[in-house]
Amino acid sequence: MGLLKDLINIYKYKSVRVCAETFAYLLREKYGLFLEGKIVVPLPTISKHIRERGFDHMAFLAKRIAYVCGGK
């Protein structure tokens, strides 16, 4: 679990966007059939955190998951 925790922290706090791709593929491996064709909606991120990170990390992740899993 340490590696996954580190990956999440790198994504959230260092804004390394390629981590979202890794999460999307991990989720597809685990929940691919369930997510197939589903609409993926991100949890809202407060404006302060979007400004700090330079992007909305949850919206970006939701788009990657939807793309990888064939959703919308």
Neighbours of 63 (CB within 10 A): 16
Tell me the mean pLDDT in the region 13-31.
92
Residue 58's closest CA among 40, 38, 44? 44
pLDDT for the residue 70: 84
The pLDDT of residue 1 is 63
Q: In this predicted model, what pLDDT tens digit does every residue of 26-37 receive, in sequence order?
A: 989 998 888 888
**Could you report the per-residue pLDDT of 41-62, keeping only the tens digit for each?**
999 999 999 999 899 999 999 9
Q: What is the largest CA-CA distance in the chain?
A: 35
Encoded tokens for 14: 């260092």
When pLDDT is cut at 50, 70 and 90, the band that residue 22 belongs to is very high
d(CA 54, CA 69): 26
